[in-house]
Amino acid sequence: MGKDWVQYEDGRNACCDSLPRMASAELSAVKPGVLPGGLAGLSLSRRKFLEAAALPCLASCAFAPAARGAGFPASPPAAEKDSRFIVEAKFYEKLPYRKIKCKLCPRECVIDDRERGYCGVRENRGGKYYSLVHSRVCTAHVDPIEKKPLFHFRPGTLAFSVATAGCNVNCKMCQNWEISQVRPEQVPSNYLPPRDLAALARQYDCVSIAYTYSEPVIFYEYVQDGAEAGRANGVRNVIITGGYIQQEPLKEWCKAVDAIKVDLKAFSEKFYKEVVNGELKPVLETLVTIREQGTWTEIVYLVIPTLNDGDQEFRALAKWVKSNLGPDVPVHFTRFHPEYLLTNLPPTPIESLERAKGIADAEGLHYVYIGNVPGHPAESTYCPRCRRVIIERLGYIIKQTHMKKGRCGYCQQVIPGVWA
């Protein structure tokens, strides 16, 4: 596998899954495709692209309209008005005078008729609340599962990764703000119904569908239906989320999908209020519930210089994880790169990440990783008993694996995760 899988070189924040950028050679090779619903194509690695180009039905790449520099459309595509995107929201409460209260995320927006919630993708129409983004996919890529990152979930496999516009928070460091901080009309999208999503995942040899890049909470109904279609077609489902969701919809998620990676953006309410425009407490409750429900989870913590990189915060985080989730939940400390509204800070020094890992290790967490630093030894998985490398990684590449049936290949220690 070539180095072109290694997206770290973009230097983009891996707190939530980043949109891959395409090489110009790939872009120039774009041809009209025949994928379902007018899907323009997919962004693939060079190798995968060349492999796929041999297939008669391949539509090549470039289904990433919101990539940098693409700008914002003067005229929405005809499909924007398509009623196929609009479904009644699952979680809301009707109020007097045609108002509604959204019950999907803890923000609980109270929304007047003809208005939208904070996420920008759910609208009150005459006292009924609708999602405007079901099957309204604005970006789709085939990614290695390591890019999510999920390190203990079918390593070395591919995830068919999709997103719609919108988000229920507004992180100042968002790397995908061109799709997460816009309304669905402001980015070109395509119709990709659940059955076609599952079929595409299989067509591209993806073990899983990943709902990612923006915030799957806001395209909740699509995730549910996509997961059902995926399972019916033998495809797993993973969610990459900030975890800012209410308990009832979360529990339904836990039944529907195989893994949920949570971006724990800091361990202080102050940070959540000032930088995320959200709250920490509901996110911690989300993590506890996911564990209680028995769904596999991993945590990413984007370390941002001066904002969430104190020893005390790292220690409090590690203690909380150990006592509330257990020592086996993987924690990824990843490197920040200046983006969006936080361009005044430098990239995270490697020493800060190592300091975070050192503290978490010392507190007794078993699987602490460093992310966004290609080639760092802490990208690999070590057996907590014999301390030997059991999964050796370089960026998104699995170089070697020494595991058998979910156990360390050297000492037979059980390694938690989803391995088969």
Partner 1 sequence: MPRHKEFVDRIAHAPNRRGFLRTLAAAAATLGGRRLSAGVPVPVPLNVKTQGKSRVVIARDAGLRGSGSSVDSGRLVKLLDRAMQSFCGCDSPLEAWTRLVRPGEVVGLKVNCLAGRGASTSVQLVELISERLQQAGIKDIVIWDRLNSDLESAGFRLGSKQRGIRYIGNDSAGYEEQLSIYGSAGSLVSKTLTRTCDAVINLPVLKDHGIAGVTLALKNAFGAIHNPNKYHLSVGDPYIADVNMLPPIRQKTRLTICDGTTAQYEGGPSYMPQWSWPFNGLLVAQDPVALDFVGWKLIEDERARRGMKSLEALGRKPSYIATAADARHRLGSNDPSLIERMEV
Binding residues for partner 1, per CB under 8 A? Answer: 69, 71-76, 97-99, 110, 112-120, 170, 172, 181-183, 185-186, 277, 338, 340-341, 343-344
The angle at the Cα of 204, spanning 203 to 209, to the nearest 5 degrees, equals 100
**Cβ-based nearer residue to partner 1, 96 or 294:** 96
Query: Crossing angle of helices 350-362/311-324, nearest 10°?
Result: 40
Report, in Å, the least distance between residue 132 CB and partner 1: 12
Report, in Å, the least distance between residue 24 CB and partner 1: 19
In 97-138 the beta strands, taken as DSSP E runs, fall at 100-102, 110-111, 122-125, 128-131, 136-137
**Cβ-based nearer residue to partner 1, 115 or 252:** 115
Tokens of 352: 């800060």
The residue type of 171 is C
Q: Tokens 């924007």 correspond to what residue?
A: 80
**Cβ-based nearer residue to partner 1, 12 or 147:** 12
Report, in Å, the least distance between residue 5 CB and partner 1: 27
**Cβ-based nearer residue to partner 1, 58 or 171:** 171
**Cβ-based nearer residue to partner 1, 120 or 242:** 120
Report, in Å, the least distance between residue 118 CB and partner 1: 6
Are 361 and 319 spatial neighbours (Cβ–Cβ below 8 Å)? no
Tokens of 285: 């409750």
Report, in Å, the least distance between residue 189 CB and partner 1: 14
The four Cα atoms 316, 319, 323, 326 give a dihedral, to 10 degrees, of 120
**Cβ-based nearer residue to partner 1, 28 or 75:** 75
Report, in Å, the least distance between residue 345 CB and partner 1: 9
Report, in Å, the least distance between residue 209 CB and partner 1: 27
Report, in Å, the least distance between residue 343 CB and partner 1: 5
**Cβ-based nearer residue to partner 1, 4 or 80:** 80
**Cβ-based nearer residue to partner 1, 139 or 168:** 168
Query: Crossing angle of helices 220-232/247-256, nearest 10°?
Result: 20
How many other β-carbons are positioned within 10 Å of the β-carbon of residue 387? 11
- Chain center to CA of 164: 12
Q: Hey, which residues does 369 pair with through a beta bridge?
A: 332
Are 272 and 297 spatial neighbours (Cβ–Cβ below 8 Å)? no
Report, in Å, the least distance between residue 263 CB and partner 1: 18
* Nearest-angstrom CA–CA distance, 38 and 36: 6
* Nearest-angstrom CA–CA distance, 309 and 233: 43
Report, in Å, the least distance between residue 180 CB and partner 1: 10
**Cβ-based nearer residue to partner 1, 56 or 69:** 69
Q: Tokens 């990189």 correspond to what residue?
A: 309
* Nearest-angstrom CA–CA distance, 269 and 244: 13
The residue type of 372 is N
Rg (C-alpha) for the chain, rounded Å, is 20
In 296-348 the beta strands, taken as DSSP E runs, fall at 296-303, 331-335
Tokens of 405: 């049936």
In 229-361 the beta strands, taken as DSSP E runs, fall at 236-241, 259-263, 296-303, 331-335
**Cβ-based nearer residue to partner 1, 27 or 341:** 341
